[in-house]
Structures are given as C-alpha cells and as structure tokens.
Amino acid sequence: MNFQTSSPGKMLKTIRKNCGLRQEEITGDYITRNLISLIENNRTPLNSDVASLVAENINKSLNYSLIHWVDTEDFYRPERYKVKEEVKDFINRKEQELLEGNLTLDEQELKSVENTLRKYRLTDKKAVLYELLSDFYNSSKQLNNEYMYLIRSKENYSFYPHHKDKLFAIKQRIIDNLINRDIEDSALKLIEIMYDTFESINGLNQRERNLLQYKKAWALYHQADYSSSIALINSILCNDSCTADDNELKANIENDFITTDCLLLLAKCYSATDALKKAKNIYYELWEKLSIENNTNKMLDIIINLINIEVRCNNKTNLFKLLNYSVTNESILKKQAQTKTLFKYYLELSQGWESIEDLDQAKDYYLAAIQVAISNNDQEELLEVSKKIFNFCEKRNQNYFLAKISPHLQEWIS
C-alpha cells in the first residue's frame, strides 16, 4: 500500500484491519457501521470529531495497548502511521530478543529510532520502548542506565490515564532501583510523593498502600533502621493490635507475594538484630509453605539465610539437613535462579559445608561462586569470594587450593 497517497478513509480501513477489528467493533455508542463503511470507501469525509471517536473506540477495543495505540493524526498523516508501524516492529523484535536472552543494542540504530520518536511525537511508543530498555539494563545490572530509561518511560506513561497501574509499577521499579543503588533517602521521598499523588487522583487501594509500605520498610532496612522496618511490616501483615509474632501465617501465602515478601524482610530484620530464633521460625515456616518450582528465587533466599543463621548458631544437625536439601534440589534451584542470587547461594553453601567439616564440598562451591562472579563480570563478587577463599585456605591449611583457582582468576583478569 502506498501510504503517501492514502486518503483518511483508506487509512482508517488500513489501521482497523491492522488492528484485527471489524467495522462494528469500532462504532461505539455514537457512530454507525454504515458511516464507517462510507468513510472507508471515500463516500463521505472523515471529520475530526468522528476521527477522535473512532481512535478512542479502537484503543478501547485493544485495551488501550500502547504498542497498538492509534492517534487521530494517524488517519491524516499516512507517513506518521507508517513510521509507527516500523517502530512497533522494532520494539516487538527487541522484546523477543530480550525474552530469548540475546538482546543486542546497536547504538546508531537506537539513536535513529529515538530521533524518529521525537520527530513524530510518538509518546505511546516512547513509553513502551523505554520500559523495554529499562528491562534490558536491569537484566544486565546496568542500574544507572535502567534508572534513566525508567524515568523516561514514566514521563511518557503519564500522558495516558488508562495506564495508572503501569505508571504505578514503573514508579515502584524506580524505588527499587534507588534502593539497589544505596540512594534510600530519594526512594523514601518518592514513596511519599506517590502516596500524595495517587491518593489525590483516584485514591490507593489497600494492595497499593501495602506495596508502598513494603518498599518503605525495605528502604529502612537498607538504612539499618530495623525497628522502624519491623513496625511497618507488622502494620501490613496484621490487623488492629495483632502483631506478626503472634499471628499465624496466612493460608494463601503461596499466592500472596506481598505477605511472603514482608515475612522474608521481617526475618532479615530479626537476623540483623540477632533475634535468630524469630528469624528461623519465619524462614522454616515459609520453607514448608512455598513450592520450590513456583518460588525458586525466594526459596534460594530462604536457604541462603537459614544456612547463614545455622552457621552462626553452630547447629550442625540443621545445617546438614539444609545442605542435603540443596544438593537434592540443586538442578531446580540452578535452572531458574537469578545469577546474583546464585552467587550468594554458592557462597553460603561453601560456608555451610566448611562449618560441618566437609572441605571438599566447600571448595567445590567456592569454585562455583568464582565462576558465577566471572560470568557476571562482577568485581565486587569476585573480591568477596576471593577474601573468603584466602581466609579458608589460611584457616584450614588448604593453600594448594589457591593454585587450583588461579587459572580462573587469571581468566577474569585477562
């Protein structure tokens, strides 16, 4: 089709068909199917009022999807719609690459696409593309770039009132990013702004309030304000005067990620304040209630922290059970684990095996931790595991082990 010579009516027909919609699906309450037919066949003009109604009806039929978003301009500016379709194809292609784990970004191509977005004022595609790029940079742990594109995505989603939930989710990710970069004060300020902003627009439901409370508790935990974090978590978990300590865990914990995340954070706070018995009770009850297949990374987090606690308590019986469980389920745990979590898992396993005097197993997991750190290209991880290995070799008279890991360290250095 020659977009350059298409009439508004022909463009309406093209856009409707590209969206997979029938004429009767875009009429709404104020337009007839006959009028749509007349316009598409150039027997009556498409005026601006009808164009606006049709665009709204198309977007509503597609659940206001921004990847398929239609503006009234698209009917009158064929070249703009052609560009939108090209950008949509680019986004879909990159999204598939990200899902397959092989996304690559060509700087010149990306710059060209961004210039196109600005030239044609495609705020809908900006919101989707920038969110996709933030996902990519999050997966590659480039947190500064992730933050930049999250901010850009937020700015563009704010133009679309039907995407309040998406805007809320993007802002939550910004909070997570700030906390992960140790900028907790900014995260706490953003949480307060979100409270005020969303309450003034449509109000926050209880789930949204709980999410923001949880983020605030998480930021306070990172600031080592454990008592305030515990108080906030209790306010989420419990009703009235009931506290998390004397309240049974909810029966639907398997499907309630807010409750699960709050309990995990509560256990971390207890562990950080040496209330190890309280921490252990929470971790072990979560361990029993969560399925490893559906909650791999949370189960890893639980195992990591339980091993740490049992090492501190010098409870070799429980340690042995935990380590055997890890060996039995290692293939499942490794398959779905995030690399950052997997590094911590291997490091804690090595500490656990060392604690029960199985030095060969300890060395195997130290080596696995080194390999993950090298794969992550993470200097901090490599430094952390190297220090633990040096201490291990010195304490256990295992200096020959250093010769074994030297090639791996040399590989990373080169």
379-396 and 359-376 helices, crossing angle to 10°: 160
Q: What are the CA-CA distances from residue 347 to residues 9, 44, 304 (Å)?
A: 65, 72, 9
Structure tokens at 409: 């360290």
CA 371 – CA 186 distance, rounded (Å): 35
CA distance 122 to 80: 9
CB 207 within 8 A of CB 246: no
Count CA atoms closer than 13 A to 42's CA, side-chain side. Answer: 5
Maximum separation of any 2 CA atoms in the chain, in Å: 91
Q: How far apart are CA 290 and CA 329, in angstroms?
A: 14
Structure tokens at 350: 């090595």
Residues near 78 by beta carbon (within 8 Å), at least 6 away in sequence: 3, 4, 5, 6, 11
| Cα–Cα distance, 396 to 241 (Å, whole number) | 51
CA proximity to 66, closest of 159, 186, 181: 159
Q: What is the DSSP letter of 43?
A: S
**Per-residue confidence of the chain (414 residues) as pLDDT tens digits?**
555 568 999 999 999 999 999 999 999 899 999 999 999 999 999 999 999 999 999 999 999 999 999 999 999 999 999 999 999 999 999 999 999 988 888 999 999 999 999 999 999 999 999 999 999 999 888 999 999 999 999 999 999 999 989 999 999 999 999 999 999 999 999 999 998 887 766 678 888 888 999 999 999 999 999 999 999 999 998 743 333 444 444 444 444 667 889 999 999 999 999 999 999 999 999 988 887 767 888 888 999 999 999 999 999 999 999 999 998 988 888 776 777 788 999 999 999 999 999 999 999 999 899 888 888 888 888 889 888 988 888 888 887 887 777 776 666 555
Residue 333, number of CB atoms within 10 A of its CB? 20
Instruction: State the Cα torsion 185-171-155-101 to the nearest 10°.
Output: 110
Q: What does the pLDDT read at residue 5? A: 61
